[in-house]
Amino acid sequence: MAKDYDLTPKRVPHIDTPLRRIQTEIPAPGSLAVLETLARWEPLAMRGQPPILWDHATGFQVYDAFGNCWIDWSSGVLITNAGHGRQEIRDAISRQAAQSLLTSYCFPNLERAQLVERLAGLLPEPLKKVFLLTTGSEAVECAIKLCRAWGVSHGGRGKNIIVSFEKGFHGRTMGSQQAGGIPALKEWIVNLDPGFVQVPFPDGFWTKDTSFDLFESSLRNSGIDPANVAGVLMETYQGGTSAFAPPAYAKRLREWCQRHGALLVFDEVQAGFGRTGTLWGFEHYGVVPDLATFGKGISSSLPLSAVAGRPEVMDQFGPGSMTSTHSGNPVCCAAALASIELIVGEHLVAQAAQLGALLHARLREIQKPHPEIGAVLGKGLVAGFICVHPETGQPDGELAWAIVQRCIEKGVLLFSPVGYNGSTVKIAPPLCITEEALLESLAAFEEAVTESLARPEAAR
């Protein structure tokens, strides 16, 4: 659960290195007025992150207005894959803005055409039609719509079941939250759609059984006839833990969907654009879905998302019947085109794989002496550092928060813990981070873990 962060200024150790510097109090003087303004005029739901008042960010570093600098392990919640404030992206945005074309609704624009062509060229067959939207939740909603329309047209109105996974997260709109597997996020929905069904995710940690038999038996136990399944929606890795399914499981799932006429959808909103050490996260499975959703790292900056899929699935709706006000916004498309060129041209996918191997090896070393760290999950430059009570194995959100807070005091920026009871410290630096910066931030992280465990009365 998100923590309502204490805004009282605290004196922290002076840290001054070439990569991370904290020289003032946290929150810095002057930032409290901004935090108080936000607290007064915004809903409570917008609080919960550590109170770092961002002023500017470049590459893998975030700064406030007072000279404090952090090595960023958040990527602004997995957005800035190419890096913060990249000049090439800023230039692309500026050029587009200078053309006095900031929006065109669904009327054609050049940048939209260039982006869908570029994405289709990078995606494998049969993902050759691309629909641009604004947010990841919107992309997931679109995928649900396409699955149900396909199911109804190929199996009648009873073929409408969307199968997804426990502990999964797909967004905050009504449809995406019903597809999600976190019951607490659905308590506000008084008329849950019975056509959404969740089964255990085979992460090997919270769910020990990683066999595909569990998928099939879970559907049987829920009374679901496979013939009535319109689509199976799975995060390429679960956002709350960074856990992947076993490749053999994904292959069986692909075969199952084919056999029962269901569409397989991979939610790539967090996994796409090199984050996991491959351009697309589903490459780790050796299978290609019928539909994939994208967002976050697509532009490394501005709001944009996409759904890509088989042409016959994407073309189910006629002209004007599947649109969005900001579809293919030219400024956002220009940013995305520039970001993609950076990711491809600077070989950031290979860098994510190389540095990811270093990251995960060091995190496992840090984990080894501490039974309070239940698992280190993920691939490439995304990792989930899961905190548990060693006696019970239950999630320990307080320890996760303590680690995040101490990291921030040491010049490493993380967002608030995620996952089951907020027990996962999520690590996701920009793909342009250097080996030097990664090693320095890992050293600070190890200190934060050790201190949080050694002095629980102070840290927790």
SS3 of 196-232: EEEECCCCCCCCCCCCHHHHHHHHHHCCCCHHHEEEE
Predicted TM-score of the model (pTM): 0.94
With 0-12 / 13-18 / 19 or more C-beta atoms within 10 angstroms meaning exposed / middle / buried, residue 406 is buried
The stretches in the chain having pLDDT less than 70 are 1-18, 22-29, 455-460
DSSP summary character for residue 449 = H
Q: Are 78 and 236 in contact (CB under 8 A)?
A: no
Helix, coil or strand: residue 2: coil
Task: Please tell me the distance from the alpha carbon of residue 300 to that of residue 274, in angstroms, as a whole number.
Answer: 12
Burial bucket for residue 436 (CB in 10 Å: 0-12, 13-18, 19+): exposed
Q: List C-alpha distances in Å: 156 to 88, 131, 153, 230.
A: 49, 26, 6, 10
408/417 Cα distance (integer angstroms): 13
CA-to-CA dists, residue 347 to 273, 354, 416, angstroms: 11, 11, 30
8 A C-beta contact, residue 408 and residue 52:
yes
Q: How far apart are CA 436 and CA 457, in angstroms?
A: 33
Cβ-based burial of 77 (10 A; exposed 0-12, middle 13-18, buried ≥19): middle
Residue type, 422: G
Verify cis geometry, omega within 30 degrees of 0, for the bond prior to 390: no
Do 135 and 295 meet the contact criterion of CB atoms below 8 Å apart?
yes
Question: Helices 330-345 and 87-98, interaxial angle, to 10°?
Answer: 150
Q: What are the residues facing 62 on neighbouring strands?
A: 57, 70
Domain 87-345: which CATH number of 3.40.50.10130, 3.40.1010.10, 3.40.50.2300, 3.40.640.10: 3.40.640.10
> In this predicted structure, what is the pLDDT of residue 459?
44
* Tokens found for residue 22: 């904290």
| Predicted pLDDT of residue 240 | 97
Q: Give the whole-angstrom CA distance, residue 410 versus residue 360.
A: 20
Q: What are 234-252's pLDDT values in tens digits?
A: 999 999 999 999 999 999 9
29, 10 in Cβ contact below 8 A?
no
Q: Tell me the β-bridge partners of 238.
A: 243
Looking at residue 66, what is its pLDDT?
A: 86
pLDDT tens digit sequence for 105-126: 999 999 999 999 999 999 999 9
Q: Name the CATH superfamily housing domain 15-82+347-459.
A: Aspartate Aminotransferase, domain 1 (3.90.1150.10)
CB-CB neighbours of 418 under 10 Å: 21
The pLDDT, as a whole number, for residue 4 is: 52
Q: What is the pLDDT of residue 379?
A: 98
Q: How is the chain split into domains, by residue range?
A: 15-82+347-459, 87-345
